Structure 1
């Protein structure tokens, strides 16, 4: 037993070295107002530091301790650029794309710029390191899980964030789903981490039954009833 524990501790201690991730940040729009804002208020060094901290935090939250559990991404790129549409950020492959002009508005007031940017990075980094059942999981669940990590990091506005009990569907995404995952955690310690591990290869609603003994619709109904079926 002692030898097995020692082996587990040794493997865990080696994981950061084995799974060294390279972080690259590129400002493609340095001469635009948004690009200038990024360089002056956030900066490449701070972004890389935040990416590393978020990466390690995500692995801890998901309780990914062994090579079989970790989703390893060797290189993560962040691009500050401009793209059509109102989106602040999106991921594609192992890349995080951030709209320079939207970032400037998002990060106001200036004294909260790095705090808000950190929350954004914890959310987007989660998308790269979470399991999604080979993209078979509901989009709202993956977004809610990314918010779950962000909330656990405390880089979010507690006064304006989604309140528990609100929403119309468990997989509505973002704050609605995040609060539901918190509720599921209260029923089983480590539920969200366990669910993430189960989604390595595929997703099934039945995972809720396996982990909590009830269907996801039953759980959602009980969660909503606990808060008076708020909308």
Structure 2
């Protein structure tokens, strides 16, 4: 796997902060660490034939993404918002790594060829962040929080964590099933329970 980082916004306040507090060499190093974690731990893809057929991931520090922290385009390219880097209050390198776990998961995950709910794919990306220990305390959903299992992001990540407790390796198995298609029935196939029942039991477990 090849990793490239380009600071397109090098002369903006956020681009300067990226150079001073994170830097291109460190970003390439952490990208390799994240890649290995996604393959080995989140998706458990020891067989290369199970992985998405990409041979590079590219990160670009750009001037603005209209409020988004980062986004993936063309499967393996990640734009990172320099405005977010400029305005972030706290340990910037930690926050940068956290977002990178989420975005790189999108690069490597299957989505049923676009048929999987967006809330589920976003939840899996946040699940990777959570599993790696990069869920921001006080800003990440607590177990039992949320209105729907496919609400997305941290809410769905916590629900997936619950499913993982019922069926170890659940997220990896779900991702494998989502290679060519998607069906809510995958939850029942892997846990023995329909997803709506799982959600109700999940909520009840945490008194919600």
| Category of TM-score, reference length = shorter chain | over 0.9
Provide, for residues 142-195 of structure 1, a one-character-per-residue CA deviation record: whole Å limited to 9, x for no partner.
111011111111123234321000000101111100000011011111111110
Select which of 207, 215, 223 maps to 2:186.
Answer: 207
Runs of at least 5 residues in structure 1 that lack an aligned partner in the other structure: 1-20
Counterpart position of 1:68 = 49
Select which of 81, 84, 88 maps to 1:102.
Answer: 84
User: Could you state the TM-score of these two structures normalised by the residue count of structure 1?
Assistant: 0.86
**Structure-2 separation of matches of 1:86 and 1:138:** 23
User: Could you state the TM-score of these two structures normalised by the residue count of structure 2?
Assistant: 0.95
* Matched position secondary structure for 2:50: coil
Aligned positions of 1:51-200 closer than 5 A: 51-61=31-41, 62-93=43-74, 94-106=76-88, 108-109=89-90, 112-200=91-179
Give the length in aligned residue pairs: 206
**Structure-2 separation of matches of 1:224 and 1:217:** 11
Larger radius of gyration: 1
**Structure-2 separation of matches of 1:183 and 1:115:** 25
| Residue 84 of structure 1, CA deviation | 4.4
| Residue 54 of structure 1, CA deviation | 0.3
Aligned positions of 1:6-25 closer than 5 A: 21-25=1-5
Q: Which runs of 4+ in 1 moved over 6 A?
A: none
Aligned positions of 1:209-228 closer than 5 A: 209-228=188-207
Across the aligned residues of Structure 1 and Structure 2, the Cα RMSD in angstroms comes to: 1.1
**Structure-1 separation of matches of 2:29 and 2:81:** 20
Determine if the alignment matches structure 1 residue 29 to structure 2 residue 30: no
> Quick check: 1:30–1:39 contact (8 Å CA) kept in 2?
yes
Provide, for residues 101-132 of structure 1, a one-character-per-residue CA deviation record: whole Å limited to 9, x for no partner.
112223x22xx221111111111100001111
